[in-house]
Amino acid sequence: MILIQQDNLFQNIQLIRMACLRVPLYQCADYNERFQRQEDWPGERSNLLSESAPDLDSAIHQAIHTIPFFQGLKFKTFVHFRGEGSEDWVHMDQEPLAGIIYINPTNVESGTRIYNTDQQMITDVKYVQNRLVMYSGGYLHSGYGHFGDTAEQGRTTINLFLDMSK
């Protein structure tokens, strides 16, 4: 699998968006210190939504489980913001399955790119509000077109990583 895209994931994206915007976000260094982790990523991220916003985490899983391919899977979920001036960060994820949901209004100058091992782009998915993009974590990928100065009006997403702990 390279990528699965599902538009209109949530029945009421505005309720989900408002719930996401209420979740505290942290710079990576503060996040690592506060939650005793050793992660590396640009921008600002929430703690695990299962801990910081369990109702939001449940709503995300409920929506994802409407897609037959993902029924029964558990994901680690986070809110993530990357604003204007944030550099693109081509990377792979440790988990075999990862995804992103775009929660703010559509901005087709932004999105997610998937690359081959030579870092040549093979897929470009635009930032369309309420769009889920799920991909193999082993593929190189990058967000691009970061915009806005705040989570309320910038490139804010829900990030998903297959929970391998069970």
Q: CB atoms < 10 A from the CB of 153, how many?
A: 13
Q: How far apart are CA 81 and CA 147, in angstroms?
A: 9
Query: How confident is the model at residue 87, as a pLDDT?
Result: 87
Architecture of domain 3-162: Sandwich (2.60)
What is each CA distance from 121 to 111, 118, 139, 146, in whole angstroms? 13, 9, 11, 18
Q: How far apart are CA 160 and CA 102, in angstroms?
A: 11
Q: Which residues contact 165 (CB under 8 A, 6 or more apart)?
A: none
- In this prediction, the residues of the chain whose per-residue pLDDT falls under 70 are 1, 166
Query: How confident is the model at residue 2, as a pLDDT?
Result: 77
3-state secondary structure of 29: helix
Query: How confident is the model at residue 164, as a pLDDT?
Result: 83
Evaluate whether 101 touches 9 at the Cβ level (below 8 Å): yes
Q: How far apart are CA 163 and CA 166, in angstroms?
A: 7
Q: How far apart are CA 85 and CA 72, in angstroms?
A: 38
Evaluate whether 129 touches 105 at the Cβ level (below 8 Å): yes
Q: How far apart are CA 148 and CA 128, in angstroms?
A: 15
Question: Where do the domains of the chain lie?
Answer: 3-162
Which strands make up the sheet holding 107-115, listed edge to edge?
A: 121-127, 107-115, 140-144
Query: How confident is the model at residue 141, as a pLDDT?
Result: 95
